[in-house]
Every structure is written in C-alpha cells, then in structure tokens.
Amino acid sequence: MESRARIKALLKKLMNRKVMISVLALVMAMVTSGIIIKLSGYSPVEAIMAIFEGAFNGKSAIARTLVQATPLILSGLAFTVAQKAQLINLGVEGQLYLGALATAMVGSMDLGVPGGLHLIFAILVGMLVGGLYAGIVGVMKVRFGSNEVIATIMLNSIAILVANYFVSGPWKAVGSVTGQTEKVLDQVRLARLIPHTQLTLAIAVAIISCLIMKWFFDHTVPGYEIKVVGQNKTAAKVAGIQTGKIVILSMLLSGAIGGLAGGLHVLGVDGRFITGFSPGYGFSGIAVAALGAGSPIGVIVSGLIFGVIRSGSMLLDLKTDIPLTYADVVQALVIIFVATPMLITEMIHKSKRVVSAMNPSSKKGEES
Amino acid sequence: TPASEGTAVEKVDAGDSAGETSSSRVGIVLTTGGLGDKNFNDMAYDGLVQAKEDLAIEFDYVEPKVVSDYVSHFRMYAESGEYELILGLGADQADAIAEVASEFPEQKFSLVDSAADLSGVRTVYTDWTHQTFLCGVIAGLETKAGNLENANEENVVGVVLGMEYPILLEGVMGFTSGVKYVNPDAEVLQATVGDFSDPAKGKEIALSMYNRGADFIQHIAGASGLGVFNAAKEENRYAFGVGGNQNHNAPDYIVATSIRNVNEMVYNEVVLALEDKWVPGPTGSGLKEGSVGYSVEGSNVVLSESTIKIVEEVKAMIINGELQPCRTIEELDAWVGNNQYFQ
Amino acid sequence: MNDIVRMTDISKVYPSSNVRALDHVDFTLKKGEIHSLLGENGAGKSTLMKILYGMNAPYSGEVVIYGEKKIMSKPIHAIELGISMVHQHFMLTPVMTVAENIVIGREPRKGILFDRESAEREIQKMIDTYGFNLSPKAKVEDLSTGEQQRVEILKAMYGGAGIIILDEPTAVLTPQEVNDLFAIMRRLKADGKTIVIITHKLKETINIADRASVLRDGKMIRTDIQVKDTTIEELSRYMVGRDVELGIQRPSLEIGEVAFEVRNLNLVEREHSILKQINLKVHRGEILGIAGIEGNGQSELLEVLTGVRKPTSMELRKNGELLKGDARAFIDQGIGHVPEDRMSQGLVASMSIMENLILGYHKRPQFSKRGLLKDTEIEEFSDQMIEEYRIKAPGSRTPCKMLSGGNQQKVVIARIFSEDPDIIIIAQPTRGVDIGAMEYIHSRMLDLRDEGKAILLLSADLDEVRNLSDRLLVIYEGEIVAEAERNQMNESEIGLYMTGSRSQKSGE
Amino acid sequence: MSFLQDNMVYILVATISMSIPLILASLGGIFSARSGIMALGLESMMMTGAFTAVVGTYFSGNAYVGLLAGMGGGALISYLYGILCIRYKVNQVIAGVGLNLLALSATTLLTELIWGNRGSSPQVASIQLNLSFLSKVPVIGKILEGQSILLLITGVFVCVAWFVLFKTVYGLRLRIVGENPKAASTMGLKVKAIKYQGVIICGMLAGLGGAYLSIDHIDLFQRNMTAGRGYIAVVIMILGRYHPFYVVVAALIFGFSDAIQIYLQGQGIPSQLMQTIPYVVTLFVLAFGVKHIRPPAGIGMHEDDH
Ligand SMILES: Nc1ncnc2c1ncn2[C@@H]1O[C@H](COP(=O)(O)OP(=O)(O)OP(=O)(O)O)[C@@H](O)[C@H]1O
Ligand SMILES: Nc1ncnc2c1ncn2[C@@H]1O[C@H](COP(=O)(O)OP(=O)(O)OP(=O)(O)O)[C@@H](O)[C@H]1O
Ligand SMILES: [Mg+2]
Ligand SMILES: [Mg+2]
C-alpha cells in the first residue's frame, strides 16, 4: 500500500505543469507535421514508426540516438548557462568550433604523456579556448557595453572562417583532400561503450555537466551571484557583487561548455576536426534550451528528445520516400510549439469548455 | 523526385545479367550537400535511376546532415544485410566507409570520387585537374584571341570557388594551368564565395572579376555558381559550368562545362557489382574513360574550329600521358616554364 | 443620486499568485468629492482602482458609471468615460520628453503629423497654471522622482478628465509639493471634478478628503466615512484593527563618540558638480537625518557612502580609521545599506525570500563556506526572519515579487538589521509602507540606535525625519545648507531650507 | 592600395548592391524592435520573401508581381512571428530561431513540391529596370547607373521610415509601445495591434530584401540563399541604433568592407582570412565606435505584464 502511495506521489511530481506542457507540445508538433506529411501525399504513420524504430529499435539505434543527443545537450546547456546571467550567447557555434579545433590539435600531438592525462588535457584546452573566445564577448560587454548578440554573431563567422583556414592550410592533415586535421592519437580517443557504435562516455560527460551546472546554480556562491546579476544588475551592484566579473564568468563558463561539446565530438565521434562538422549545433542548442525551459535538467530531457528526432530521421530517410526535409520541419515545429506553452494552456481551456458544454453535469470541475 | 536537367546518362553496356538480378538492392550515402544540387548528388541519383530502369535494381539513398553521420548511415545499410552494393560519394566519406567496411568484410562497398586505398572498398576517382584543364585551354585561347563576340582585349580570366577546400583547389589549378598552357601571360583571378548556396554573393564576385577585365570565368562553387552565370549574362561575358552539363543555364554565355559524369561512374559501379566483376582497390577514371572532360553541348557559343582542334589535341596529349596538368600553386611557375603549347 | 461611480460586489483573484485581492467589495464615488481610499499594504486598493480604470480584467461584480452599467476591460474604456489615473508605479517612458509622455494617446496633430509645438505649448500652459517647475521638452529620464510624479499628475489632468484617480501620489513629494498638489486638487474639485486619492499618510486624508473608505485584506471594512467627523487614530484603527502608535518620538538616551565621519566629499560628473564639500559626522547612538527634496543629490550621496559610486574626493572614517573600496568592502566593514528603491536596488524580485535575505551577505561564514551555500542554515535563518519581522508570506521559498510593497521592504530591512552593522545608512525606509509596518520599522530603528548603532537616515518624508532624527541636516543642490538639533526647527523652516530659499551658510 | 583606388567605382557599386537587402531587412527590423519585438526572425522573413517572390514571378511571369509576393511572403511569416511573440508571449530569441529553421525547411519542401527539385527553382523573370537615367549625374552617376530601381525604392523607404517613426503620431505611438507597453496601454493605445503592425511592416520590408536577392540581383530561388543575411541585418539594425539613417550607414560599412574583401582576394592572403574582414570591422565599430547602444526598453515586455 505504501509503495503505491509513493508511486502516486512520484507520478504527481512528474506530471507537473511544465512537463505536461512540454509533452503536449511534442504531441502537437507531431500531429501538425503528420498533417503536413499527409497533405504532401505520404503516410504519417509510416513516418512516425520509422522515426521511433530508427531511434529505439536495437542497441545500435539507441547508441546512435545518444550520440546525436550529446552535442545538443551541451550546446543547450551552454546557452542556458549564459541565459542565467541574462546573456544571449548566440555564439555557441563558434565556441564549439574553436573548442573542437583546439582539442583536435592537442589530441593529435604526441606530448609523451599517458593517455588519460593527454585526453583530459586535450579536453581542457578545448574548453579553455571555447571559454576564452566567449570571454571576449563578456569583456566587450563589460568594457564597452557592446551588445552580445552582435558580438556573438560576428565571432561565429570569424571562428568558422579561421578554423577552416587552419584546417585547409597550415594544419591540414598530410595527404588529405578535404579540410581536416590529422587524426588524434588513439590514446586520446574516447573508448566505445558498445562496439561498432560511436557511443562513448561523452554522453555521460554531457549529462554530468548538466547535473553539475544545476548543482552549481543551486548551491554555490558564484552560481548564486550569476543568478542575481541576471535578474537584477542594480541590486547586485548594491550588494557588492562585481557584476562585470560575473558577466565575464558566465560567458567563460558558457563558452567552455560549448568548447567541451566540440572537443567531445572530436574525441568521441570523428577522431579529428573536419570542416563543417557541425550542422549548427550551436543554434539547435537554443532550441534545446527552450525546450529545457532554462533548467539544466530540462536540457538533458530536451537534448534527448532532439536526439531521438535526428537519429530517427536517419531511418526515415533510409526506409521511406519521405524527404528528410520533413524531419527538419518536425524539429522546427517542436521548437515553436514547445516555446508556446500559452497555446497549449489555451487549448486545454477551450477543450474543457467544450467538454463542459457537452456535459453540463460536470460544471463543478470548472471552479477548481 | 529530383530532376536533373542536362545530365543525360550514356548507357554503359549492361550485359545480359539484368534480368536475373531483379531483386538486387543498392544503397547510396549522398554527400552533406544533399539532393537538389543539380550536380554531384543529383547526378549520382540519376545514375541509380538509370540503373533501376536498365538493370531492374532497387535502390535506397540517404542524405546525411553532417560528416559525422556518415558512419551511422553506412552501418545502417551494412547491418541490414539487404544490399548488394553500398555506395559512398565524396572523398570525405573515406574514413567512415573504411571503418564500416572493416566490420563487414563480406559486403561490397564502392566509394565514388575518392582515391584512397581502403581495404575492402572499391574507390573510383576522377582527377580534378583533368576535369577543368580543357576549359582552361579554351579560356586561355579565347581571351587572347578576342574573337568571340563578348570577349575583350584584356588577357584576364577567373575562377570562382565556393569554399576553399583543398580538393577544389586542384580544380583551380587544372583550369589555371590549362589557361597558362596556351597563354602563359594570362592573368587568372581567383576568389572564394565562402558558401556553396549563395548565388547573390557568387554574382558579386563574378562581377568583380569581369570589372577587372576577365571575360571567362570558371566556377567551382555549387549553387553559388548560378550567380556567376547571372553575372555573365548581365555583363555580356562568358562563364564555364562545372559537374553536370550546365550549358543550358545560359546557353549564350556558358561556353562549356567542365564535365564530370558522376552518373556514369555510379552506374558503372552497379554494373560491376551485379556482374561479379567488382574488385576492391582504387581505380582512376579520367579523360580517357570519359568520366571527365569538357562539353560544349547545348551551348550557343560557337568556338572556332582552330580552338576545337587545339583543345582536342591537348586532350589527346593528356590521355596518352604526354602532358600532366599542374597540381599545386607552388609548382605552377616551373610547370609553365616547361609546358607550353605554342613554343 | 449623485453617485457617479458605483462598484458593487467586486471580486478579483490574481491567477498568477492565486491571491484573492478583492472579496465582494462595494465602493461609490460622489460627484465633486475627494475620496480617500485607505488600507494596509496589499489590502487591494490599487487593485480596486485598476479595475475602475479597466486595467484589471477579468473581475466579477458590477461597475456602474454615470448610471450606466459598464464593462471595464481596457483603459481606453475608462479614458473614453473621462477617467484618468496616476499610477503607484510610474507609467512613464524615460527616453521621451515630458510633452510626449503626457499627450500620448490624444496627441495634437496636423494631419498625420504629430504637432509637437502645440503639444509643448499646451503642456507649458498647464505647467504654468499649476506652478510646476518643469520643461515640456525635458526628457523624463533626466527628471527626479518628484518631477516625474508631477509629470504623472499632468498626464492625468491633460484632456480634462472628470474622474481622477491618484494612487499614492504624495509618497515622493515634499511637504511643499504636497501642499501645491492639494491646492490643485481643491481647484479641480471646485471645477466639479471627482478625485480618488490613495495614501498611507492619514494626515493627508484628514487634510484633503471629504470621504474615506478602508479596505482590509480585500474586504471593504468601512466606507462612507465622513472625514470631518473622524480622527487619525480612528482611521488607523480601521486599517490595522488595533491602536497604532504614530509619530513615535524617542530622543537618544546616550550619544557616544563619532562612529562615521565624512569629510570633504565632492562629486563631479560630466562637469556637473553634484555633491559639494559635504562634511558630516554620525555618532554612536544617534540618528542623523538628512532632509531634502528629491533630486538634490541624496541618491548620489547614498551611493557614494555605500561604495556603489566613486566620488571625486572624499575622506571617510569609521571609528577614526580611513575607509576605502567598493560596495563589497563597505559591507564587509559593517556598513549596512537600505537602498532607496527596494524594487530596483534592494531586491531580486524573481528570487525567493531566503535568497534575498542573504544578498550581499552571502559570503559570510554563516551562509557559505568555501564557495558553497549552506542551504539548511539559510533556510532556518530565513524562517526565523519571517517570524521575527512578521513578513506576510507563505514561506521562505516564495518569490519576493509575490509580496506586497510593505513586506518587500521588511525583507530588505530584516537583511540589513540582522547582520548587526555598526553603521546603518538607510534611505526612504517607509516609502509606500502602511502605517502598521511603518510603526514597526521605526521602532526597530530606534531600538538599534539605543543599542549604540550610528544611523544615517535619508528621507523625503519630513515627518519621518523630524520624528526619528536626533540631529538633522538639510541638503539643497548637493550642499548641506542647514543643521539643527532635534526640535530646533519647525516644519516650515526646514521647508525653506529644502527649497533653497534660505541657507545657514549664506547667513554666516 | 592604388589597386583599390582603380577599382573604387566598382567597389562602391558592389557595396551598394550588397547593402540593399541588408538595409531593407534592418529597416524592417527597426519597426519591429521599435514596437518592442526584437526581430531575430529576420532571416526567416528574408528567406520566405526570396522564395515567394520567385513563386509569384514564376506563376505570373511578372517580376513586379513577384516583388509584391515577396513582401506578402515576408508579411505572412512575420505575422506568425507576431502571433508567437505577441499573442503567446514566446521568448523572442527562441521564436526567431525557431522560425528561421522553419522557413529554411519549409521553403526547401515547397521548392521540391512545386518544381520537383529541392535545391533551386528554375530561372524566372527578374527586375530589369535600373537607374541608367542617372548616368549623367557627375561623380555618383557611374556608381548609380547600373543599380536596380530597388535602390531608389530603398532610399524612399528609408526616408519614409524616418518620417513615420519620428514625425507622425503613428511613429510616436509605435515608439512608446516599444519603450513601455504598459504605459502605452494605460494611455489607451491598442498595444497589441501596434505591435502586430510593427512586425508586419518588418516582414514586408525584410521580404522585399529577400525578393531583391532572388528576383532582382539574380533570377531564381536557391535553398538557404539568404545565407545568414537576416542575422547580419539584426546586427546592422542594432549597430545603426534602431535609426533608419544610421542603419544605412552601418549597412554601407558592412557592405563596403565585404566589397573590399572581394576585391582584395587572390592577393596572397588566404581567402578565409579575407572573408573575416566585414565581421572584424563590425566588431571594431561595435567596440570603439558605437558604445552602449540602448535598445528600446520595452523589448520583450508585454502590456499586461505585472
Ligand atoms: N522542460 C522540461 N521538460 C521535461 N521535464 C522537465 C522540464 N523542466 C523540468 N523538468 C523536470 O522537472 C523537474 C524539476 O527540474 P528543475 O531543474 O526545473 O527544478 P526546479 O525545482 O525548478 O529547481 P530550481 O527551483 O532550482 O530552478 C526535473 O526533475 C525535470 O525532470
Ligand atoms: N499582478 C499581480 N499578480 C498577482 N498578485 C497581485 C498582483 N497585483 C497585486 N497582487 C496581490 O493582490 C493583493 C492586493 O494588491 P494591491 O496592489 O491591490 O494592494 P495595495 O492595497 O495597493 O497595496 P500597497 O499599499 O502596497 O500599494 C496583494 O496581496 C498582492 O500581492
Ligand atoms: Mg531549475
Ligand atoms: Mg497599491
């Protein structure tokens, strides 16, 4: 009996408003895209089945889903962290790029250190580079009052161009015909958790990073100060918090997480830096952060959801005639619906009204 | 289904095995550019459509979002075990296809457009320098002669790149050495759009070259090249297409296309696989095989007989090995010193 | 019947906080009266008036205006009926000019063009009539709070509304300005206008109103009180439900040695001399009050003395020792600071009470250790503060934005007072706070003083400064122009110094 | 440098033609931002405009119909943006990025459904009218003669925008709404309606900017052909302090540095590094030129916020 009550309590906790709305939004996005798919003459059932099969059917499918989710979770986290200080870091893409490049370079050099150390060093350098690159924005903001939206958009383009220059020129792998660095040493590659998949500990690192950030914001002094600065800069100043330092710190942190996303991708998936390796993870991160509703825990959940869509759409692509563009449409719709909780609440209200109109005896329920 | 005007496939003799293998499936991993590029991917797709018609095969295709996804796609094909042949496209798939091929030694893998030597994988490559060299020769001859209606006095031509990828720079060198082979004093301008799908910027870049005296521009810029054609029309100058025959895009202004018959290459791989003639290892395919070259078909620009004669002569020289286009910018000066058509 | 507004059975629940702000309230306005609406913080005064102004739909109940039943769901409905409102929190656009702010929504125009000249001319005329010191061309962001209040009042008058609602218009005005405002109100009344005024200062109600109504916890406790037949004590009893000690005067028991000394303080910014040669001393066991009209450098003085702003020159001593540094250093040195605007400077509205109670002191060992917050200790501390300071809130985790103004002020005060600072710099401690809370805050301040703290009090509320201060300074245009011991100067004398009509300095 | 001088006329010609779509889009952005909605969805409006312009031209055979269709397309998606941000109070960054993704995938999908190719449309008619009648004007005649009639239209729009924003009652109201929606609402303004208007004007102008790219500058729609110009337009709008004239200056600075880099390419410096020039210049202008830009205070706020 008692355990039943506990499960009930747990369910109640899980079914809170935020979660309900996110779930309903997903359903709405699915239904809408289903209609679009149907209108274009394809079978929505087939599409959804393919997506679920591609994401969950078998070990390698699940592995693929987790691999896809990893950079999304981290990019979403990077955006969320900056957002806590009320900073819009549209530059995660650039930070991720440079982080990946730095990790790849360090990883491909023979430093004569043991593997584990080398790996950690490579990751840390990636984080440092990503962090410093974002730090520029923080410094510009504090020093010159520069708008971070402009600065990050500009720095994105610069990062991508400069990285492309290095990997097509001075740092290009010998004999390679595409823009890429040398392979990283085997000792710095992340070990595969399941053979013949790309699944590595990277996903664990991503999830742990989210947990750490949640803990950081809830229980540490700098986390607290970031939140205060984000919510009320004047009050923070009056309380003796050095707002400039905090702004820079948040950007550094956010950029470091972006750099980590890039570094893990290099060491876990590609084994080197390859031009164009990111399909806009930085921007998808904004969507992930939106779905995660500003909470690092939410980011894990939403990163996984986007991972499912991306991984599932690979099978959709392979198995059906439905063009891959539909998967993009689904993703965009998910973002839009999830970002629109009021639409969902409105619909709930309307449907309640309809129900109560059809069924006058249930009118009491409206009061509550 | 994606259309691809002007990429007609010349039929390779399919032998008489077509009937028996009606249930064979072929899978292809396209490049990150995806279908609709009216080029590489669309041509490969057309090759398979042709194969489906001629050889009664079935085929599946996937369009990866990013380079990192290649491995997953190859593995999904291989794991299903349903495919007679798994095709890859583009040099950047080499790592991925090699990794999966090592896990599935029984499976046939072919990678089109890569020269890498990968165990268990058949790679077929074309030479970029061979692809653009002959259009370079045309440009070199015509910009100096100035006979064509819209050619000018100045001895300047240009190349527009989409992005500065190492492999595309070979295409630039092919064109440049082609120009210099017949016209060593010509200036070859070069600029990069920074995007493969920004025709507006492509046009601006082409205009900047035409303004500086160029009268012929070779683009290697994907859809950004459409802007180059537009600039040619507007400025009354000439351009060269790349990949599939693009001459119809602006027949009065596009002199020729630096052709690469990816469709034929793909088609051939299917034939080989069905006929059990498939063997792993790298195979070159160039001017001789007809996989690359120039095509004036569909263009309204009439080249003089002497030009055509010289181009064909040069083509023959490359095919029989008398002439090798220059490959790198560093070697160019020395190469020009040693290789001249008009002594 | 000359009831031009009749609100019956009005109820309102805010869905976001689930607060029943109004509970079956009836309210009427008679033509040509000045009606004072009273009640503690959070009683529902603003809510009721916002419903009348169409800003608070949906509500339940009936609103009848000029005898006709109306549904007030948008301000435009009220505006069209000739109702205007001065809001408790300013509704001004800082980057725009006085004239633009006032005429918006009913702009003089030439075709599609905004007729700026005639707008400015009209506003200037109003300014002249009411004797305000304002320029229609000035940007609102350059105005002091008092001046902004005047803009709000002009906004309400512009367009000739018949019913004018003033929600705490006097909170930031000097006595002189209050008198001016009241003169205007009487004139408007003579013109046949009907006015509602919300205020926490019962003296003002007695002074200006014809009738009064009292709300408590969303219920109308008394309505139709004839002001001429009542007293401050009676009104305060209606509001709070008990007797309130108003205007506590408790002279210092023992004034100790100098605890806090400022010498040679000057502040020049953008070639404007904002603070000029300020010298002051606060002793242990003393409250030093600084009176002055808003915009005469008090805000800057406060910021300099708490390390938020860098002065051009200053020598600051605490217990004889030279003090330097930023806000952090000042806090660490035991200088407590209650900022003048709680919402923008004192609190992080979206954060919880407990998070706000440690703000600025979060690095103290009792709240954190090596960068980690001590969650249990913080929560215990917070629960204790809520009890001790009688903060009306569901719990420590309630966000501050859900509290009423008075309770928010208590959070700030509790934070500073509980940290046992030697010196307390406190500005506008009871602005917008109801009489019950005011009584409490004042008595706490006096207790602290009696414990030997040195307190520097800045306030625009002259009664407050006069009652609490053991010594009083008057500031005018960044200069200390007068100094007096308790009860040495009367209200009108201080008023003369505050407006610069008189100066001890020039008299020397 | 004399090389640049020799080509200065061409560089200026390129500057102008590359700036036109940016000016139009940022001009639109001003209306949106000034009404309180940060136009991060400009990219989607430009892209949709570019697409519908080609659709309109394709089916009517008339590029001027196409221009109108481009404005309509931009307006349509901006209306959606408005519904999200105004009615449903969606976070504007997220709504913008979401719509940008939607516009990219939707235009790709429709390109495929209409023309059977998901990369690009067929070639369509394009705007042919240019300013050749100005060729006689001394000095600038050379720069202007080849420019499209849209340059003239852009210039007119810039002036009209300035006039509307700062001289008319409507502009005053729009700006008040963007600065302080609550105050505007208490003064009886129809805040939501004004915001919708701001956003839709934004969509029409950005759509026109997109149409310039697709049926004026060239003559077809190519998937993702706006190539991030919408984001650049946001940058230019902010850099131009949300003011029509300064936005023109900011766009010309960006366009000019972009044109310079095109002409400087192939002079030995790696092309990728040359391509960073406009971005680096913008950063420098941001850091040392226009400090502390103050956005409209009401961005992201709603009239019924408490
Ligand atoms: N967008 C979301 N989608 C799905 N689940 C979510 C989402 N946001 C939060 N959750 C779930 O709700 C729970 C609460 O998460 P959250 O981090 O928001 O806690 P919180 O109580 O808000 O913490 P805090 O008050 O410190 O912000 C988590 O366990 C998570 O599973
Ligand atoms: N926008 C709102 N959302 C939720 N709750 C609100 C809102 N506005 C007011 N409340 C709540 O409604 C109650 C009445 O508030 P109201 O502002 O009417 O009080 P008041 O009498 O004007 O107080 P004060 O003297 O502090 O101005 C308070 O408990 C307050 O917390
Ligand atoms: Mg949380
Ligand atoms: Mg109130």
Ligand 2 atom closest to Cα of residue C40: 25
Contact A318 B115 (CB under 8 A): no
Test mutation, D17, D132, D222, D229, chain B, max B CBs within 10 A = D222
Shortest CA distance from B159: residue in chain D: D266
Q: How open is the CA angle D188-D189-D192, to the nearest 5 degrees?
A: 125
Dihedral class, residue C247 (left if φ above 0, else alpha if ψ from -120 to 50, else beta): left
Q: Where are the beta strands (DSSP E) in chain B?
A: 25-29, 58-62, 85-89, 108-112, 121-125, 156-161, 187-192, 214-220, 238-243, 254-260, 281-284, 292-295
Q: Which residues contact A279 (CB under 8 A, 6 or more apart)?
A: B65, B66
SS3 label, residue D140: coil
Ligand 2 atom closest to Cα of residue C402: 31
Residues from chain A contacting residue D104 (CB–CB below 8 Å): 328, 332
pTM, rounded to two decimals: 0.89
* Chains D and C: 3 or more CB pairs within 8 Å of each other: yes
Ligand 4 center to C306 CA (angstroms): 29
What is the total residue count of chain A? 368
Q: Are B160 and B193 in contact (CB under 8 A)?
A: yes
Residue A185: give the domain boundaries. 43-322
Ligand 1 atom closest to Cα of residue A22: 3
The pocket around ligand 2, CB under 6 angstroms, is made up of C 14, 16-17, 19, 21, 39, 41-47, 88, 402, 404-406, 434; D 306
Quote the mean pLDDT of chain C. Answer: 88
Q: Are A226 and C318 in contact (CB under 8 A)?
A: no
Q: Are C36 and C10 in contact (CB under 8 A)?
A: no
Shortest CA distance from D120: residue in chain B: B36
- Closest by Cα among B207, B173, B166 to B188: B173
Phi, psi for C318 (deg, rounded to 5): -120, 125
Half-sphere exposure of C502 (CA within 13 A, CB side): 11
| Arithmetic mean of pLDDT, C232-237 | 89
Ligand 2 atom closest to Cα of residue C200: 25
Q: Is residue A275 part of a domain?
A: yes
Shortest CA distance from A40: residue in chain D: D113
Which pLDDT score, from 0 to 100, does residue D176 have? 95
Q: D6-40 pLDDT, tens per residue?
A: 888 899 999 999 999 999 999 999 999 999 999 89
Test mutation, A39, A83, A154, chain D, max D CBs within 10 A = A154
Run of H or E residues at C179: helix C175-190
Q: Where are the beta strands (DSSP E) in C46-135?
A: 60-65, 68-70, 83-86, 109-110, 113-114
Half-sphere exposure of D207 (CA within 13 A, CB side): 28
Contact A198 B103 (CB under 8 A): no
- pLDDT over threshold 80, residue C505: no
Residue whose CA lies nearest to ligand 2 atom number 17: C46
Is the peptide bond between C58 and the residue preceding it cis, with omega within 30 degrees of 0?
yes
Which pLDDT score, from 0 to 100, does residue C373 have? 94
In this complex, is the C-beta atom of D123 within 8 Å of any C-beta atom belonging to chain C? no
Contact D180 C91 (CB under 8 A): yes
Phi, psi for B289 (deg, rounded to 5): -75, -10
Instruction: Determine the Cα–Cα distance for residues D71 and D68; give it in Å rounded to an integer.
Output: 5
Half-sphere exposure of D263 (CA within 13 A, CB side): 25
Q: Which residues contact A134 (CB under 8 A, 6 or more apart)?
A: A82, A89, A91, A95, A152, A251, A252, A254, A255, A256, A258
Any chains having at least 3 CB pairs less than 8 A from chain A are: B, C, D
In this complex, is the C-beta atom of C406 within 8 Å of any C-beta atom belonging to chain A? no
Phi, psi for B28 (deg, rounded to 5): -130, 140
Q: Give, for all 368 residues of chain A, the pLDDT tens digit.
A: 567 777 777 676 666 676 777 778 878 888 888 898 888 888 888 888 888 898 898 888 999 999 999 999 999 999 999 999 999 999 999 999 999 999 999 999 998 889 899 999 999 999 999 999 999 999 999 999 888 988 999 999 999 999 999 998 899 998 888 889 999 999 999 998 988 888 999 999 999 999 999 999 999 999 999 999 999 999 999 999 999 999 999 999 999 999 999 999 999 999 999 988 998 898 889 888 987 888 899 999 989 999 998 898 888 888 887 877 888 888 888 888 888 878 877 877 777 777 776 665 543 333 33
* Residue whose structure tokens are 């619909």: A347
Selecting from A220, A232, A237 the residue whose C-beta is nearest the C-beta of C308 gives A237
pLDDT cut 70: percent of chain D above it: 99
Instruction: Determine the Cα–Cα distance for residues C361 and C225; give it in Å rounded to an integer.
Output: 47
Domains with residue ranges and CATH for chain D: 2-289 (1.10.3470)
Shortest CA distance from D164: residue in chain C: C113
- Among the bound ligands, name the one nearest to the CA of residue C408: 2
Q: Are C428 and C459 in contact (CB under 8 A)?
A: yes
Q: Are C92 and C153 in contact (CB under 8 A)?
A: no
Instruction: Determine the Cα–Cα distance for residues D33 and D237; give it in Å rounded to an integer.
Output: 9
User: At residue C385, what is the residue type?
Assistant: M
Q: Is residue A5 part of a domain?
A: no
Q: Is residue A332 part of a domain?
A: no
Instruction: Determine the Cα–Cα distance for residues C480 and C456; give it in Å rounded to an integer.
Output: 14
Q: Is residue A8 part of a domain?
A: no
Q: Torsion angle, CA of B123/B128/B131/B132, rounded to 10 degrees?
A: 170
- Closest by Cα among A255, A267, A264, A254 to A205: A264
Radius of gyration over every alpha carbon of chain D, rounded to an integer in angstroms: 19
| Arithmetic mean of pLDDT, C400-424 | 88
Q: How open is the CA angle B49-B50-B55, to the nearest 5 degrees?
A: 105
Selecting from D14, D225, D271 the residue whose C-beta is nearest the C-beta of B198 gives D225
Ligand 2 center to C56 CA (angstroms): 11
Shortest CA distance from D168: residue in chain C: C113
Q: Is residue A311 part of a domain?
A: yes
Q: Is the dihedral of CA C206, C209, C214, C218 positive or negative?
A: negative
Contact B35 D119 (CB under 8 A): yes
As for how many domains chain A has, the answer is: 1
Selecting from D116, D222, D263 the residue whose C-beta is nearest the C-beta of B199 gives D222
**CA D24 to the chain's CA centroid:** 4
Burial zone of D128 (CB within 10 Å; 0-12 exposed, 13-18 middle, 19+ buried): exposed
Q: How many CB atoms lie within 10 A of CB A321?
A: 11
Shortest CA distance from B192: residue in chain D: D271
Q: Are D207 and D75 in contact (CB under 8 A)?
A: yes
SS3 label, residue A344: helix
**CA C295 to the chain's CA centroid:** 14
User: At residue C106, what is the residue type?
Assistant: R
Q: Which tokens in the block code for residue C85?
A: 């409102």
Shortest CA distance from A287: residue in chain D: D94
Q: Are A276 and A294 in contact (CB under 8 A)?
A: no
Q: How far is CA B319 from CA B130, B290, B312, B322, in A?
A: 9, 10, 10, 8
Q: Are C415 and C362 in contact (CB under 8 A)?
A: no
Residues from chain A contacting residue B63 (CB–CB below 8 Å): 317, 324
Partners of residue C38 on adjacent β-strands:
C214
In this complex, is the C-beta atom of D62 within 8 Å of any C-beta atom belonging to chain B? no
Q: Is residue A199 part of a domain?
A: yes
Which pLDDT score, from 0 to 100, does residue A359 have? 65
| Alpha-helical runs (H) found in chain A | 2-14, 17-39, 44-56, 59-84, 92-108, 115-144, 148-168, 202-219, 221-231, 233-238, 243-265, 281-291, 296-319, 325-338, 341-358, 364-367
Instruction: Determine the Cα–Cα distance for residues B134 and B258; give it in Å rounded to an integer.
Output: 8
Residue whose CA lies nearest to ligand 1 atom number 10: A298
Contact A232 C306 (CB under 8 A): no
Give the residue, out of A16, A18, A213, with the most ligand 1 atoms within 8 A of its beta carbon, to mutate for a pocket test. A18
Q: Torsion angle, CA of A318/A322/A324/A325, rounded to 10 degrees?
A: 180
Ligand 3 center to A296 CA (angstroms): 7
Q: D155-211 pLDDT, tens per residue?
A: 999 999 999 999 999 999 999 999 999 999 999 999 999 999 999 999 999 999 999
Q: C29-65 pLDDT, tens per residue?
A: 999 999 999 998 888 999 999 999 998 888 899 999 9
Look up the CATH number of the domain holding residue A188: 1.10.3470
- Closest by Cα among C172, C145, C149 to C428: C172
In this complex, is the C-beta atom of A39 within 8 Å of any C-beta atom belonging to chain C? no
Instruction: Determine the Cα–Cα distance for residues C351 and A231; give it in Å rounded to an integer.
Output: 8
Partners of residue C336 on adjacent β-strands:
C424
Ligand 2 center to C195 CA (angstroms): 21
Sheet harboring B156-161: ordered strands across? B187-192, B156-161, B214-220, B238-243, B254-260, B292-295
Q: Is residue A235 part of a domain?
A: yes
Per-block average pLDDT, block size 10, for chain B (343 residues)?
38 42 80 82 92 91 88 90 92 90 93 89 92 96 90 93 89 96 95 92 95 94 93 95 93 95 92 91 86 93 93 94 92 93 77
Size of the A and B interface in Cβ pairs below 8 Å: 75
- pLDDT over threshold 70, residue C1: no
Instruction: Determine the Cα–Cα distance for residues D27 and C221; give it in Å rounded to an integer.
Output: 56
User: At residue C460, what is the residue type?
Assistant: A
In this complex, is the C-beta atom of D276 within 8 Å of any C-beta atom belonging to chain A? yes
Dihedral class, residue D10 (left if φ above 0, else alpha if ψ from -120 to 50, else beta): alpha
Instruction: Determine the Cα–Cα distance for residues A293 and D87; give it in Å rounded to an integer.
Output: 19
Ligand 1 center to A10 CA (angstroms): 14
Q: Is residue A27 part of a domain?
A: no
Separation in Å, CA of A215 to nearest CA in chain C: 10
- pLDDT over threshold 80, residue C193: yes
First-to-last alpha carbon distance for chain D, in angstroms, is 59
Instruction: Determine the Cα–Cα distance for residues B31 and C356; give it in Å rounded to an integer.
Output: 55
According to DSSP, the β-strands at C368-369 and C219-226 are unpaired
Give the residue, out of A15, A18, A295, A301, with the most ligand 1 atoms within 8 A of its beta carbon, to mutate for a pocket test. A295
Residue whose CA lies nearest to ligand 1 atom number 28: A297
Residues, CB-to-ion distance under 5 Å, ligand 4: C 46, 88
Q: Are D117 and D103 in contact (CB under 8 A)?
A: no
Ligand 2 center to C317 CA (angstroms): 42
Contact D98 A145 (CB under 8 A): no
Residues from chain D contacting residue C105 (CB–CB below 8 Å): 173, 184, 187-189
Q: How open is the CA angle B244-B245-B248, to the nearest 5 degrees?
A: 135
